[in-house]
Amino acid sequence: MSQPGDRTDDMTTAGEKWTAAYVEAWTSNDPQQIAALFSEDARYLTSPDSEPRVGRADIVAGWLEDLDDPDTWSFEWWIVREDAGFVVIEGRTKYPAERDYLNLWIVRLDEEGRATEFTEWYMPRPHED
């Protein structure tokens, strides 16, 4: 299980490294960190039936449009399954001021460890302290 700010050096699999880097980018909202997560032609779906953001530039722009401010959330995560570039991540996002979510992410990684496809499911839950 990981927390925001954990270093990717301690991670062993491509999925763990990618997820830790995602959380770091989520924390910083730095466009270069966000872009480094995705292949040039990646597809990012904010829900399974949403219109995908296609391409690194569109993903970064959408991320920055919908960003979460640092220190307004926490995220715990673990790898459910990882096989040859296919990663399933389960997590819980806590927004202490308002809500919690259970999260499920399906990520497909290329040989360089960048996501070619990212789909997330998030289910609202009552806030827990």
Domains and CATH numbers, the chain: 8-125 (3.10.450.50)
CB of 73 closer than 8 Å to CB of 90: no
Q: What confidence score (pLDDT) does residue 4 get?
A: 42
- This prediction has a pTM of 0.88
State how far the alpha carbon of 121 is from the alpha carbons of 53, 78, 92, in Å.
15, 15, 11
Question: Per residue of the chain (129 residues), what is the pLDDT tens digit?
Answer: 444 444 445 668 999 999 999 999 999 999 999 999 999 999 999 999 999 999 999 999 999 999 999 889 999 999 999 999 999 999 999 998 788 999 999 999 999 999 999 999 999 988 776
Among residues 94, 68, 89, 87, the alpha carbon closest in space to that of 77 is found at 89
CA–CA distance, 112 with 19 (Å, rounded to integer):
14
